[in-house]
Amino acid sequence: MPSVSTRLPVFPWDRLEPHKATASAHPDGIVDLSVGTPVDPVPGLIRAALSGAADSPGYPTVWGTPRLRDAITGWLGRRLGAVGAGHTEVLPVVGSKELVASLPAQLGLGPGDRVAVPRLAYPTYEVGALLAGAEPVPYEDVAELDPRGLRLLWLNSPSNPTGRVLEKDQLRAAVAWAREHGVLLVSDECYLELGWEAEPVSVLHPEVCGGGFEGLLAVHSLSKRSNLAGYRAAFVAGDAALLGELLAIRKHGGMMVPAPVQAATVAALDDDAHVAEQRERYARRRAALRGALEGAGFRIEHSEASLYLWATRDEPCWQTVAALAERGVLVAPGDFYGAAGERHVRIAFTATDERVAAAVRRLGG
């Protein structure tokens, strides 16, 4: 059996360590804008729900409580326009990354099967294909894909790393193509509530999917919109038959969201006020960093949504990483997300107000 080291690429973040050391040596400390991890407090109502469910000695169900499924389907209707979604069309998962990495294997993909991933993309799409023994196929335009052997098509809108948002007609075309060729379409929509210069739309919106979820799954996370990265709270929604298969597999594997996290997820999905408050924080940080970067000679591309600025000054990305690290600012090189990103960097605006202000000063110096 091949070892993991021969099946998978080198974990990209390990390559950033020398530049992290350089940035950490800055007299005023590092400003880490490389990873989009939340830094703001978990809203009080969510923490209260978590602690209120702490006395949960029994095993939780893989499918989740009825109250959790109500909260998910209610959010789908209220936020995505997917009115009428039922309990069989939703499934809680132990963080969205777990699902992305394991989905091809859970679906039974293997050697000879192909998985389409965006040319610039979150690396875990490729990793999931490789873990299953399938072939990842980068693409720019869905219409140009060869459907032979293609079993799974990943969409990501808003995109990580670029922040690009696909319009309704682009989503409709992708759904129609996938259904025509019998390819499962899975849309990673974890940044959907973080649109700045565009309004992201889900593949489950009736104007995109035609009112039916056949052949479609949408992945959602509470990590970004509710500061719950530490809770591993996420869910997948869509085709009931496919979710039924996943439910059976996940029962065998014991892939259960802990009961207190299920209760916290209900509180998070039922409340929109904390999401609006967090959006305001991110909007301020985004505006400050964008202005400083443009003043320092960077060009911002796409970035109309998500928690990142996709920036370039038309030089190799590692040269940009090194130069910013000398100023105590750590960013992610674009080639982490594919060769097409080799002249860009991804800059997260998830740092605290104080650290963002420090980055702005350093970029202006």
Tokens read off for 193: 């509530």
193 closest CA partner among 223, 153, 238:
223
pLDDT by residue (tens digit) across 152-197? 999 999 999 999 999 999 999 999 999 999 999 999 999 999 999 9
Assigned architecture for domain 4-41+274-363: Alpha-Beta Complex (3.90)
Judged against a pLDDT cut of 60, whether residue 276 lies above it is answered with yes
Give dist(CA 361, CA 106) in Å, integer: 48
Question: 272 and 193 in contact (C-beta within 8 Å)?
Answer: no
Query: What percentage of the chain reaches a pLDDT higher than 70?
Result: 97
Residue ranges matching CATH 3.90.1150.10 in the chain: 4-41+274-363
CATH of 44-271, one of 3.40.50.620, 3.20.20.70, 3.40.640.10, 3.60.21.10: 3.40.640.10
In this predicted structure, the answer to whether residue 13 has a pLDDT above a threshold of 90 is: no
Structure tokens at 295: 């003043």
Q: Are 269 and 64 in contact (CB under 8 A)?
A: no
* Range list for CATH 3.40.640.10 in the chain: 44-271
Question: What is the predicted pLDDT for the residue at 7?
Answer: 65
Is the model more confident about 29 or about 15? 29
Dihedral of alpha carbons 290, 293, 294, 299, sign: negative
Instruction: Look at residue 253 and tell me whether its pLDDT is greater than 80.
Output: yes
User: Is the predicted pLDDT of residue 12 greater than 80, yes or no?
Assistant: no
Give pLDDT, residue 14.
82
17-24 and 317-326 helices, crossing angle to 10°: 20
What does the pLDDT look like over 99-145, one tens digit per residue? 999 999 999 999 999 999 999 999 999 999 999 999 999 999 999 99
